[in-house]
């Protein structure tokens, strides 16, 4: 069986396990809380949070069982090859990420969709926020790039042409960002369909696809750029830096700029930054600039271990 088919089968099976197992876990937790009420004060046991843990454990177990087929042991070796230019690639990514979103913010400031919101400088006020933004940016960028590009994309590259592997990974990356639950659902105790209902709530935003289309396109393009950074450099250093730079600007945006309320979809997008034509143009220019720069220094081929024919 092709690695990409194995991967998609595992992801589907993880969802099924989560839907079936979560109600039983909730029943067990209710019994434990009844006997040990102090547990309620230690942590939250809402069904969506419980399901996220069940999904994580299920994914870990299934990936472990199929680790040889998916070459999981090679992820770090292929994602982080030893070479002297790794820090240059990382900082180049940071610079490109911060520069592109800063440009977007400056343009929206110029047209009046944002306005400067500066407070008197204070280390006590800014240091924790900046430190938190940097930590979050690095952690999220590392985890997401390792999973989406270092694992998912690498697996797809084993039996797909490069372009199709990048498209599939980018679409998956975009879709995942909409599978969230705002607020905790409440179901009757002992409802054995609660797991399936929770998954239904997770994917409910996808049912009204027209309303999420602008943001979907933006996230797809983000994933597309990050994927090709991995393909071109055969490492995650550049994509992690680029991803971290974007998150850093998003996290720190509110420290210096105030977003005008009542934005509408259009050329400039909204405060989400990726759902307007302007952001798509900036991402396209960044993609072309990276392509022009990297194609001369890096062979445009799949990472080590790829098996299918290469293509743009």
Domain spans of the chain? 81-294
Which tokens sit at 10? 């595992």
Rg (CA), the chain: 21
Q: Are 62 and 10 in contact (CB under 8 A)?
A: yes
Count CB neighbours of 229 within 10 A: 27
Q: What is the pLDDT of residue 255?
A: 75
Which residues, at least 6 apart from 78, have a Cβ–Cβ distance to it below 8 Å? 150, 154, 234, 303, 304, 305
For residue 116, give Cα distances in angstroms to 59, 75, 130. 44, 43, 18
Q: Please, what is the angle between helix 209-233 and helix 162-176, to 10°?
A: 130
Per-residue pLDDT of the chain (312 residues; tens, 9 = 90+): 788 899 999 999 999 999 999 999 988 888 888 887 777 666 667 888 888 889 989 999 999 888 888 888 888 888 999 999 999 999 999 999 999 999 999 998 888 888 877 666 566 667 777 888 899 999 999 999 999 999 999 999 988 999 999 999 999 999 999 987 767 777 877 788 888 998 888 888 888 888 899 999 999 999 999 999 999 999 999 999 999 999 999 888 877 777 766 566 678 888 788 999 999 999 999 999 999 998 766 544 444 444 444 455
Place of tokens 């909204």: 270
Sort residue 123 into left (φ over 0), alpha (ψ -120 to 50) or beta.
Answer: alpha
Q: Please, what is the angle between helix 86-110 and helix 277-294, to 10°?
A: 150
Q: What is the pLDDT of residue 248?
A: 93
pTM: 0.87
Compute the distance between CA of residue 149 and CA of residue 170 in angstroms, rounded to an integer: 9
């Amino acid at each position: 069986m092709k690695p990409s088919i194995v991967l998609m089968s595992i992801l589907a099976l993880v969802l099924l396990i989560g839907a079936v197992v979560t109600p039983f876990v909730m029943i067990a937790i209710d019994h434990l809380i009844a006997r040990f009420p102090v547990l309620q004060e230690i942590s939250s046991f809402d069904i969506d949070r419980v399901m996220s843990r069940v999904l994580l454990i299920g994914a870990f177990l299934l990936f472990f069982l199929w680790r040889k087929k998916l070459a999981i042991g090679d992820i770090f070796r292929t994602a982080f090859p030893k070479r002297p230019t790794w820090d240059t690639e990382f900082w180049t990514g940071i610079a490109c990420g911060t520069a592109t979103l800063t440009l977007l913010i400056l343009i929206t400031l110029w047209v009046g969709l944002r306005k400067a919101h500066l407070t008197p400088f204070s280390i006590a006020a800014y240091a924790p926020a900046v430190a938190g933004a940097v930590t979050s940016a690095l952690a999220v960028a590392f985890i997401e790039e390792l999973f989406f590009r270092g694992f998912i994309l690498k697996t797809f590259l084993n039996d797909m042409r490069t372009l199709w592997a990048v498209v599939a990974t980018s679409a998956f990356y975009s879709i995942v960002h909409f599978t969230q639950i705002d607020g905790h659902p409440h179901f009757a105790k002992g409802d054995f369909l609660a797991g399936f209902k929770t998954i239904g709530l997770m994917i409910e935003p996808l049912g009204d696809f027209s309303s999420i289309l602008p943001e979907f396109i933006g996230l797809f393009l983000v994933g597309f750029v990050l994927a090709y950074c991995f393909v071109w450099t055969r490492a995650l250093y550049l994509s992690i830096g680029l991803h971290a730079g974007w998150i850093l600007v998003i996290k720190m945006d509110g420290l210096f700029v105030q977003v005008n309320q009542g934005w509408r979809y259009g050329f400039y997008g909204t405060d989400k930054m990726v759902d307007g034509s302007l952001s798509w143009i900036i991402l396209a220019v960044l993609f072309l600039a990276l392509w022009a720069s990297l194609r001369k220094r890096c062979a445009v081929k799949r990472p080590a271990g790829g098996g299918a024919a290469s293509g743009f």
